[in-house]
Amino acid sequence: MDLWTLTVASPTRSADFAARTEQQGWAGMLVVDSQNLSGDAYVALAMAASNTSSLGLGTGVTNPVTRHPAVTAAAIGSIQKISRGRACLGIGRGDSALAHLGSGPARLKPFERYLKTLQAYLTGTGVPFSESAADPAIAPPVAGLELADTPAQSRISWLEGTDKVPVEVAATGPRVIALAALNADRIMFTLGADTTRLQWGIELAQEAAVAAGKDPAELRFGAYVNMVCHNDVDIAQNLVKGGLTTYARFSVMHGSISGPVSEEQAAVLNNLHDSYNMKEHTRADSQQAEVLSKEFIARFAIAGPPDVCLQRVDELRHLGLDKLVITGATAGADRNEAARSQELLQQYILQAQRR
């Protein structure tokens, strides 16, 4: 199983962060794509690629609203060329990037169309202008210019000869899991670290694949997981809860809960939905972090001594996951304890993956 880390898209710090990440033994590094909260994701990835030789690089995650699919394909295709084949594209329906523009997550049908078009661009397939052209109210058809000749379709020809960038869909609800099973190269669950919930997601994806005539054995699975290693469980839980609020909220973002939960977990998720403040997004000292109970954190996150973390990671591996993207302590957490938790993670969890 490959372990990846997640960080902000900093144009000034990404190169050094990536070099340290590679040296520490991580398989890869994702950067968030949230234009109002951090720098440009692809600039950060380009800086990271220039300062590393083996580290995987990608978005965690982009969305189908803020960039045209041709622009997204060209951007991640550029990272693929710079890094000599180390790129991946993480994409979801959108969260903070859209919230700070006054919008909610993309609707399902447009998201599915975007994925199909994106995959076409990345494989070098031509895309009809009916799928690529802008809204005529914004930009009229090129035919109106009466040029001597124009392209017959939209295609990114310069990607020829480049290994295709894998598209990884962040998925929580049943309908996104189903469409990801048909349109993604890997499904990245955002269901927490609870094996019951992850098994539910895997089975949904497999059922969707079978129904569409696709071999379910071809599906690849990963997950975004909040994990903090610390010998003091209380400290570990306090460090992990900021990031956990963000990922747990995906399971109740639209008011109804996705996936199997206990009554206690359902109560926490409903409170999280009602209390979430986007202006305190991911922060450990946010108002939403206070609604997470110890029992909830213990199941949805991985927080505790290294041996407990190793056991939980092993459980996820046995489920069939081949990639984990780990989010640790976030802003608002105790910096000294966060640094100690990172040392323990590197010393025990990353070293165990190398053996």
Q: Can you give the pLDDT at residue 123? A: 96
> Rounded mean pLDDT of 59-87?
98
Indicate the residue type of 146: E
- Taking CA atoms, 264 is separated from 189, 287, 295, in Å, by 22, 19, 8
Assess contact for 184 and 105: CB atoms under 8 A: no
> Rounded mean pLDDT of 53-72?
98
- pLDDT above 70 covers what percent of the chain? 100
| CB proximity list for 271: less than 8 A, separation 6 or greater | 291
Indicate the residue type of 156: I
Q: Can you give the pLDDT at residue 353? A: 77
The β-bridge partners of 170 are 188
User: Residue 71: pLDDT above 70?
Assistant: yes
CA pair distance 113, 42, nearest whole angstrom: 23
Quick check: bond before 61 cis, omega within 30?
A: yes
Residue 251 tokens, joined: 């399971």
> Rounded mean pLDDT of 206-212?
98
What DSSP designation does 35 have?
A: T
CA pair distance 299, 271, nearest whole angstrom: 17
DSSP readout, 244-290?
Answer: HHHHHHGGGTTSS--S---HHHHHHHHHHHHH--GGGTT-TTSTGGG
Q: Can you give the pLDDT at residue 50? A: 97
Q: Can you give the pLDDT at residue 352? A: 84
User: Residue 337: pLDDT above 70?
Assistant: yes
Is residue 66 very low, low, confident or very high in pLDDT (cuts 50, 70, 90)? very high
Q: Can you give the pLDDT at residue 355? A: 66
| CB proximity list for 130: less than 8 A, separation 6 or greater | none
> Rounded mean pLDDT of 340-353?
92
pLDDT, tens digit, 9 for 90 and up, residues 299-328: 999 999 999 999 999 999 999 999 999 999
Is residue 354 very low, low, confident or very high in pLDDT (cuts 50, 70, 90)? confident
Q: How many helices (H) and strands (E) does the chain have?
A: 14, 9
> Rounded mean pLDDT of 62-82?
98
User: Residue 153: pLDDT above 70?
Assistant: yes
Q: Can you give the pLDDT at residue 351? A: 87
Q: Can you give the pLDDT at residue 210? A: 98
- Taking CA atoms, 153 is separated from 120, 133, 137, in Å, by 12, 10, 20
For 127, phi and psi rounded to 5 degrees? -115, 125
Indicate the residue type of 315: E
CA pair distance 220, 321, nearest whole angstrom: 7
CA nearest neighbour of 172 among 254, 282, 251, 273: 251
Q: Can you give the pLDDT at residue 265? A: 97
On average, the pLDDT of the chain sits at 96
> Rounded mean pLDDT of 256-276?
97
pLDDT, tens digit, 9 for 90 and up, residues 31-48: 999 999 999 999 999 999
Q: Can you give the pLDDT at residue 298? A: 97
